[in-house]
Structure 1
Amino acid sequence: MLTSSMYSETGQPFDPFPPGEQRLLLSFVFTQRQRTRLMRDEIRASAEDYFRSKLREIVTKAGSDPANHTDLEDTVFEQTVQDVHHFMMLHGILAPIGMYGLDCVVLENETEIELITSEAPVVFANPCFKDTRRLTYTGMGDAGLQVYCPLSPRLCLLFYDPKTYLVQDNREWHASLADEQDVRVLNLLQILSTDTFVLYESLGQETMMKALTRKAREVGDWQTVPQPPLASDDEDAQYPYEPPHQLHNITPSPAPVSIRAGVEFHRRTRAEMKQRRAVWRLMECSETTEKAILKAVKILFEDTKRDFRT
């Protein structure tokens, strides 16, 4: 569906999307990232001890023994995980509010290697600041964000932070993937992001898949992104970096990167805060998180001509 809206039958690109379609594309891609079972499992794994301890405190303060209410604890915990997951999905649906500043390009695979995909196709990466920031997952509001979404064995969408990366496009909205190493990096990101399965189109890819799987075991927790320490005397201090998942010919980063220009200056933008407020307002005025999601979808489709930047 996405590729048909980008290309004519002759393979020539259409004019850039009008604002309403750009918003729908942003919302689609970011919702694909947030909706997955992997996202829910990460929420459950990262916060289970915290949520359960808080629930036990509430039961204890009410004068009961938590050991007698384990079924209630399980039920409330699962509902909490669902609510948090819905909260993340709201950020995906309303991504056009805070993510409009990302640039977008269609990567065209011109190599002999096919692009693969998985049940969690949308991948967040942050190669520029990976090795210089404190350990944290790559987030929607981070400077240096890259978002990859494979569309076919030959096409991949890339959203990227234009204040951090210099994408070398060969024509409007398009960039060629002519280096097999770049395609292998994109495929590796798919394997690192899945917890179930990957998909590829043609037979004969098994050797490549085995090599990528071995490589994935060596990478470890690739999404951890260290925070650069702020310079005590010079807020414009510069520092080196070694991007581990950089697309060599597509997203070169300016080097060295200024802390002000690379991180602090656009880390918490007005648009990002506006998106957060919109999500919280929906949560507060809705009886359930499910109804909040339905309202968000309604807002998205009814206001396609509205400019969120104003």
Structure 2
Amino acid sequence: MNRILGVVTCSDLNLAETFIPLFEERAPGLDLRRPEDIDRPEDVRFMLSFVPADDAFEPYPGLEAVFSVGAGQDAIDACPSRPDALPVYRLEDPDQALQMAGFCAFHVLWHHREMAQVHANQPRALFERKITGLSPTARRIGVLGFGLMGRAVAKGLVALGYPVSGYSRRMPEAEPGVTHFTEGQLDDFLGQTDILINVLPLTNATRGLIDASFLAKLPRGAALIHVGRGGQVDENALVEAINSGQLSGASVDVFEVEPLPEDHPFWTHDSILVTPHVACIPAPEAVVENVRQRMTSCKETA
């Protein structure tokens, strides 16, 4: 049987240990190897990666596709050795979307129900009850980005009774219970959002988008849940917005530099909840199946 040769490469994750055995088990038609185990680089047809080294693509002139092991592909897109015409496929996994929806629902409740204060009260043995504003109707949720992830997040919050709005550049298919804003309506969208959830991909248009002027367009006392991509939020501006009272707090899962440096102000800020880029993590089996389907389809149509 002719097998399609692939290479697994990533500058900061050991993907080979996880994925090579899985490909052998679940996709026997695909021969995935480490770079050092490739005898004829010109025979390699696909790459599996997430954060490729700058020269990762140079040895493989016959590449037909590169696959991200996650929902993001910005590091692959930015790799200087990637040929412009080489297709990049990111994982679109319904299970990841469910993980994201649950993660965001938790953080909406964290900010709406002021759980940071509850948590701070515990070491002080302070039994302090908040008895107003507990209804989900008391907080308007805005979902910035309305692809697979954004739609799942919005759907979950609608089910909890929150008023939900979505924003995307193009008008998506309607989602019951969601009011939608599109290009030219961003300021209106922000002005009626009490808790903003950012799930945008990183592009030239979204890099640095969430800066001081952007945050100033939210209602005073709003909160930010940032699960998009590092590089979209001006982190200093976010701290300043919270310190000034423009924002009441933030949950941040993705960062300009990862791992987040030990001396970063987010770590010690009482109103910022830091999570280590774990909003959703795909099952390796889903990654293998995604590659198998696409590469098998390409072989059949060749």
Q: What is the TM-score with the length of structure 1 in the denominator?
A: 0.28
Of structures 1 and 2, the one with the larger relative CO (CA 8 A, separation 6+) is 1
Q: Name whichever structure is richer in helix by fraction.
A: 1
Q: What is the TM-score with the length of structure 2 in the denominator?
A: 0.28
